[in-house]
Amino acid sequence: MTKSIKKIIQNLSGIFIGGLFLYLTLREKPLGPIWKSLENSDYFFILLSFVCLFIIFYLRALRWKLLIEESGKKVSTDKILTSILLGYFVNSFTPKLGEIVRCTSLQKNANVPVSTSMGSVMAERAYDLLVLAGGIITIFFIELDRLQSLIDSTLGGISHVYGYKYIYALAGILLTVLILFLISLKKLKKSKNSLVKKVVGFLQEMFESLRHGLLLKKRTKFILLTISIWLMLVLLNYIYLLCLPATAEYSIQFAVVILFIGGIGWALPSPGGIGTTHFFLLQLFLAFHLDSNAGISFGILSNGLTFVGTLLLGAYGYFRYKIETKIS
């Protein structure tokens, strides 16, 4: 199977997942009150959300620069920001292919090997997943009574239908595949085939970059940047709440809950989190006994503003990329 066919299948599966969750969210819901709520959005906070989104991208660029520098590569913040904007732009249309785009674009405009940048991206994702998992566990621990219905409607359904033994079996299969991969990689190192050598060399460089990223020297600066990114994400979600009259009175604490529970939807392979974030946000509003129409309106507005803001900043990043590649 060629790479292009795999990409098409991956994209179609992502669109299907997003469409399915969007259908589950909007089915049998009156759309009139939802559109009316969206029409009354506060344009000041909409514009403020775009500013906040840019700051988040810039902070991500500063953090990614630290990870790349751990591998001994020097590159300007401007070029890293360009690749970040391009990557998130592509992620708005395809499930997670933006990570490849940001790495390949950085190779072209800053001569950073894809293996190096890819390893640093893996390290970056590992830290973010750690924060996301920690936040989700903490919120479920604090709000267990309220979120029990969400557990029953999502994760609980899996255990009732299939049983936990299937979940353990899946974890065992994944672990076995990882072990077999590492064993195969060790044997492939001895191969004399030029193509195999290139692939093995690429994987070795990538894992070396990942190792450097996980064993940070500038750990304090990296932690501060990570905290700043997640605080800005909380602020962004709070601004989204302020955009709508129906949600403007909700607290910033609720914005924290939205960030981490909604983050489950963003983690699923749907382009731009479309459908998946809407579904989880609706379940969250219902779990907190809030208006379901407000939950749907908020999901549409927050996801839509993130999508539009990413497109605008991605277009700006593409313009920068064209200029940087011509200069270099």
Q: Which of 9-13, 47-51, 149-153, 316-320 has the lowest mean pLDDT?
A: 9-13
In terms of average pLDDT, the best of 76-85, 107-116, 126-135 is 76-85
pLDDT in tens, 196-219: 555 555 455 555 545 555 566 777
Q: Considering the chain, what is the average pLDDT of its residues?
A: 75
CA-based radius of gyration for the chain: 21
Select the more confidently predicted residue: 233 or 187. Answer: 233
Integer Cα distance of 108 and 124 in angstroms: 21
Could you write out the DSSP letters of every residue in 211-239?
Answer: HHHHS-SSHHHHHHHHHHHHHHHHHHHHH
Integer Cα distance of 275 and 26 in angstroms: 9
Mean pLDDT confidence for 65-94: 87
- Is the pLDDT at 53 greater than 90, yes or no? yes
Surface-to-core class of residue 288, CB atoms within 10 Å of its CB (0-12 exposed, 13-18 middle, 19+ buried):
middle
pTM (global) more than 0.85: no
Pair 270, 21: CB distance under 8 Å: yes
Share of the chain above pLDDT 70, in %: 61
Mean pLDDT confidence for 137-156: 67
pLDDT in tens, 32-42: 566 676 778 88
- Is the pLDDT at 302 greater than 60, yes or no? yes
Cα–Cα distances (Å) from 208 to 75, 110, 166, 303, in that order, read 18, 20, 34, 36
Surface-to-core class of residue 269, CB atoms within 10 Å of its CB (0-12 exposed, 13-18 middle, 19+ buried):
middle
Give me the amino acid identity at 274.
I
Query: Helix 292-327 to helix 98-110 angle, to the nearest 10 degrees?
Result: 20
Q: Which of 61-65, 195-199, 281-285, 312-316 has the lowest mean pLDDT?
A: 195-199
pLDDT in tens, 166-189: 445 555 666 676 566 555 655 555
pLDDT at 268: 63
pLDDT in tens, 222-231: 889 999 999 9
- Confidence band, pLDDT 50/70/90 cuts, at residue 80: very high
